Homo-oligomer: A and B are copies of this chain.
Amino acid sequence: MYSFLNNEFLPADKTFVHVSDLAVQRGYGIFDFFKAVNGKVPFLDDYFDRFYRSAEFMQLPVTLSREELKKVVFELVQKNGATNAGIKMVLTGGYSPDGYEIATPNLIITQHALTMPSAKMLEQGVKIITHEFRREMPLVKSINYTTGVWLQRKVKESNAYDVLYHLNGEVSEFPRCNLFVVKADGTLVTPHTHVLEGITRKNILSMQQVTAGKVKLEDVLLAREVFLTSTTKRAVPIVQVNDMRIGTGKPGPVVQQVLEELVRREGLK
């Protein structure tokens, strides 16, 4: 297996960065993640748009053009002989002489096994917990997951699948997923602000009768259906929030429709 670092393909287990990198010293960097399915990358331009946007906002120049970067990604997938895989592109703050100033970014591209939600999860739905928190730069796909990683212990101890952030009664997102809610009145909504703009979320928003708006924690607890979305997870039904059962306690029809449409759009059907 190969990875890519700055300008060369390297054996994945020999891809190292110097400890002076601002990711190691200050947790400073951005990334993006997408999946190759049957050798193609659905919605690649959306992921690239976000990657370059995050990089610009975080003052990290990307030396490769979009076309050059695409070429590298497809060459990596080809070299690794994988047609189904997750691809992660990380752009760090670089080797900073004083350990604080942004330097020349390091570009790291790695390939990962795809783990999709199990059939059982989709059939039975999952439990989530909640945590009072809001990310500091939600719109940017920064590498800072301090709170998300730290909460993993609590997620596991609670036998939960993920943790939903909320603040002042308003919910926002999961550490790595977006939230959708079929409210008690039947409307389908996703939080409009303080969230990472997921590509799967964007896709769902372009479907009929979905809006981005304010979502209260109360809306979640009283919802007909709740589900989370991400590139690898697509759409996973949520049937329990903390100790509360949601809706009928079983996955509903809306998440099923959304999931089918997502699969269709990925070109897998």
Interface residues on A, range: 35 or more
In the complex, what distance in Å separates the CA atom of A93 from the CA atom of B27?
A: 11
Q: B22 to A23, Cβ gap below 8 A?
A: no
**A16: contacting residue among B16, B31, B112, B137, CB under 8 A:** B16
In the complex, what distance in Å separates the CA atom of A161 from the CA atom of B29?
A: 24
Interface of A is mostly: mixed
Number of copies: 2
- Residue-wise interface mask of A (70-105) relative to B, using a CB-CB cutoff of 8 A (1 in contact, 0 not): 000000000000000000101011000001111000
A214 near B: Cβ within 8 Å? no
Q: B59 to A26, Cβ gap below 8 A?
A: no
A144 near B: Cβ within 8 Å? yes
Q: A152 to B23, Cβ gap below 8 A?
A: no
Interface residues of A in 2-25 (CB under 8 A from B): 3, 5, 13, 15-25
**A150: contacting residue among B13, B15, B58, B90, CB under 8 A:** B58
Q: A5 to B19, Cβ gap below 8 A?
A: yes
A157 near B: Cβ within 8 Å? no
**A27: contacting residue among B17, B19, B20, B146, CB under 8 A:** B146
In the complex, what distance in Å separates the CA atom of A92 from the CA atom of B23?
A: 10
Q: B19 to A17, Cβ gap below 8 A?
A: yes
Q: A92 to B137, Cβ gap below 8 A?
A: no
**A88: contacting residue among B59, B99, B143, B146, CB under 8 A:** B99
Q: A27 to B29, Cβ gap below 8 A?
A: yes
In the complex, what distance in Å separates the CA atom of A148 from the CA atom of B22?
A: 12
Q: B146 to A28, Cβ gap below 8 A?
A: yes
